[in-house]
Structure 1
Amino acid sequence: MKHPREVLLGAQAATVFLPVCDHYSGVEARMRKSLQLQAEMMQEFGACVFDVTLDCEDGAPVGGEAEHAAMVVALAALASEKARVAVRVHAVDHPAFESDMAVIAGKLARHLSHIMVPKVESVDDVIRAEQALLAASAGNLPLHVLIESPLAVRNAFEIAAHPRVQSLSFGLMDFVSAHGGAIPADGMSSQGQFTHPLVLRAKLEIASACHAHGKVPSHCVVTEFNDAAAMTGAARRAARELGYTRMWSIHPNQIRPILEAFAPSEAEIEDATKIIAAAARSDWAPISFDGKLHDRASYRYFWQVLERAHQTGRQLPAEAQMYFQAALQ
């Protein structure tokens, strides 16, 4: 029996599956806690349900970039093989970028899941980052990029098309600041970021660019990290309304609300399992389910529901779980 990934996924679907949460920390003590929390939740869920991104851009003190990079290298090297650890380096035009890439990518190529590059304005910045990877003998590492300006939004489709790019993230705070006061401060809030037209347009452009090229759109931060309702509401809107399949966390309290918001419901998992099982029994020919016609287009959707359930650590029925124990995992 063919695996659903062989049959269903193609040009109309994402070509990579990432954890739905990307957790950032830039201070050594918080980095250590983040890595420990990741290990604990891997035990709890049986899968790595969030990435840990160690931050050099905002985490490194001015003048202490080299020391901070060395500390990041030492911490990341301690992570287990099953952990997913990334590093955000400085922007390509920052004096520390080249040394960041040489030290971090050069020493951690086998340990990192990806490198995050901030303030990418055009595909030329991606090419420069790729060249730095190759110079560091880290040609296997994917790049994630931050879209943080009106120009970057304008170039999002071209950036997403680059084969080295795996995911685009929206940098809300810098995007608002890049407008020189034309967007009010409320545009950075948990509510305003979903209502201001320019911010909302940028989010939609980034999501669309990613889906056009089979990449992963990653939603921006919610700064009100002690407001559980605001966090949950923003995550749900990002997942259900704007087409995002991943979101940033900047505090441990935000990780579980993101997992919950991006996870399918039990009813969705049950329906998806039944439809995929029936489709497999019919060799992926069209079927009728609850009075509705289903074919490979809808099978693809329901398979992606199961993929998302697995990514968020949800319990899967045996008929679905077997696909994630197969060699194609």
Structure 2
Amino acid sequence: MHPSEVLFQGKRQPLLLAACDHYAGSEKLMRKSIALQQELGPLFDITFDCEDGASAGNEEAHALMIAGLLASDENQFNRIGVRVHDVDSPFFVRDVEIICSAASRLAYIAVPKVAGVQDAMLAIDLINLHARRAGRDNLPVHILIETHGALRDAYAIAALPQVECLSFGIMDFVSAHYGAIPAAAMRTPGQFTHPLVVRAKLEVAAACHAHGKVPSHNVTT
């Protein structure tokens, strides 16, 4: 008898995502990423970035450009997501409205810097409002764990049905400690050895495994 026949498997199979999520902020890098995805196939996901990608004063035009790329024939596999501005940003609502206009071709929306589960729920409610107007229900959402509050609520956030991934954001997480974690912890080997960073990654991973979601290691260079 094989172990798979007798060991507890749980009622819900965990979600599966590509092993790599490639972030691109400028139009040039977005098109370069799309070309590579077309060449290799959907072996990796792409995240277009509204948060760090848009230049000051150009936020709406940047989001409109992204929506155009999502809806274009270049998006062959529908495996491109978008990171919008955080929920406290004056650009968050407009980002979501514009990006969700292409919801039928969108892989997911990534929401950064949530302060806790209430922020995540607020973001999901707004995403659903605009995605449904574009004919899409249950658009997957990725939540970035970058704050003390989000880490505290990691289990509750992972339990939200629409959330498919918790992604650790090491740079803002380290910044939130005001020097208690050195900058060296944002690089290797520190990102794998500093106790507070290791503890955070373990919490994110445990929360995801408890709810069949995908834990994502932080953006790296």
Q: Provide TM-score, normalisation by structure 2.
A: 0.90
- What corresponds to 1:29 in structure 2? 28
Q: Which amino acid aligns with 1:201?
A: R
Task: Tell me how far apart the structure 2 counterparts of residues 155 and 201 of structure 1 sit (CA, whole Å).
Answer: 14
Deviation at 1:189, TM superposition (A): 0.8
- What corresponds to 1:90 in structure 2? 85
Q: Which amino acid aligns with 2:24?
A: S
1:256-314 CA-partner distances (Å, limit 9, x unpaired): xxxxxxxxxxxxxxxxxxxxxxxxxxxxxxxxxxxxxxxxxxxxxxxxxxxxxxxxxxx
Task: Tell me how far apart the structure 2 counterparts of residues 9 and 141 of structure 1 sit (CA, whole Å).
Answer: 27
Does structure 1 residue 120 correspond to structure 2 residue 119? Answer: no
Task: Tell me how far apart the structure 2 counterparts of residues 169 and 133 of structure 1 sit (CA, whole Å).
Answer: 18
Does structure 1 residue 74 correspond to structure 2 residue 68? Answer: yes
Deviation at 1:132, TM superposition (A): 0.9
Alignment of 1:302-321 (within 5 A): none
- What corresponds to 2:95 in structure 1? 100
Give me the CA root mean square deviation: 1.6
Q: Provide TM-score, normalisation by structure 1.
A: 0.61
Alignment of 1:241-320 (within 5 A): none
Task: Tell me how far apart the structure 2 counterparts of residues 222 and 35 of structure 1 sit (CA, whole Å).
Answer: 19
Q: Which amino acid aligns with 2:211?
A: H
Q: Which amino acid aligns with 2:34?
A: L
Task: Tell me how far apart the structure 1 counterparts of residues 147 and 188 of structure 2 sit (CA, whole Å).
Answer: 19
- Structure 1 runs (4+) greater than 3 angstroms displaced: 8-13
Task: Tell me how far apart the structure 1 counterparts of residues 84 and 138 of structure 2 sit (CA, whole Å).
Answer: 17
Q: Which amino acid aligns with 2:141?
A: L
Does structure 1 residue 40 correspond to structure 2 residue 39? Answer: yes
Structure 1 runs not aligned, ≥5 long? 43-47, 224-329
Identity value in percent: 53
**SS in structure 2 of the partner of residue 19 of structure 1:** coil
- What corresponds to 2:143 in structure 1? 145
Give yes or no for contact 2:117–2:150 (8 Å, CA) kept in 1.
no
Give yes or no for contact 2:69–2:75 (8 Å, CA) kept in 1.
no
Larger-gyration structure (1/2): 1
Q: Which amino acid aligns with 2:144?
A: L
Structure 2 runs not aligned, ≥5 long? none
Alignment of 1:163-182 (within 5 A): 163-182=161-180
